[in-house]
Amino acid sequence: MKRFVIFMLVFSFILHPVLAEYVELTLSYPSNVEKGEEVTITFEIINQSNERLWDGAIMIEESLMNKYKPYIQSDRDYQNNPFKVAIIEPGQSIKETFVLTFKEAIPLKEVKFNIVFKCGKGSCRGGCRPFYLEKPVSIALLEERAEAI
C-alpha cells in the first residue's frame, strides 16, 4: 500500500507539469475538393500552457511545396512568407487561414502534408526553449468529370 501511495504521489508531480505544457493546433478543412478549386485551411493555435509563446511561424510543410510547387497556386508564398506571431500569452489563441488551389494537372489523387508551428516557449524574451508542433492534413483531390448527354 505504501508503494502505491508513493507511486501516485510521484506520478502526480510528474503529470502536473506536463498538463501545464498544453498548446493545441486545430485545423478545419474540406476532406475532398475538385482539382482547380480553392481550398481554405483554417488553423487555430490555442496556448493553454502557463508560458508565453514567442516569435511563432506557421507554415505548410516544405517537402510538399518543394515537390509540387508548380501545381499549387496561392496568393502568398507560405514558405518564404509564413504567418508570424510575436507573442501568444497563456490562455490566448490566434486564428488564420491558408488559401490554396491544387491545379488540375497535379499528379495526385490525395494530397497529404503537415501544418507546422515553430516558436520559442517560456518566460525569456524569444522563449527559453524551442517549441515545435505539427498537424497532418489529408485532402482527396477529385477530378471534374464531363457529363454524358
Residue-by-residue DSSP string for the chain: -HHHHHHHHHHHHHHHHHHTT-EEEEEE--SEEETTSEEEEEEEEEE-SSS-EEEEEEEE-HHHHHHHGGGEE-SS-TTTS-EEEEEE-TT-EEEEEEEEEE-TT---SEEEEEEEEEEEESSSTT-SEEEEEEEEEEEEEEPPPPPP-
64-85 burial: b if 16+ Cβ within 10 Å, else e? bbeebeebbeeeeebeeebbeb
Is the predicted pLDDT of residue 53 greater than 70, yes or no? yes
CA pair distance 112, 126, nearest whole angstrom = 31
Residue 6: pLDDT band with limits 50, 70, 90: low
Residue type, 58: I
Mind listing the pLDDT tens digit for each residue in 130-147? 999 999 999 999 987 666
The answer to whether the beta carbons of residues 93 and 30 sit under 8 Å apart is no
Amino acid 7: pLDDT? 58
∠ CA 92-96-100 to the nearest 5 degrees? 160
Would you say residue 69 has pLDDT above 60? Answer: yes
Cα(120)–Cα(129) distance, rounded to whole angstroms?
Answer: 6
pLDDT at position 135 is 95
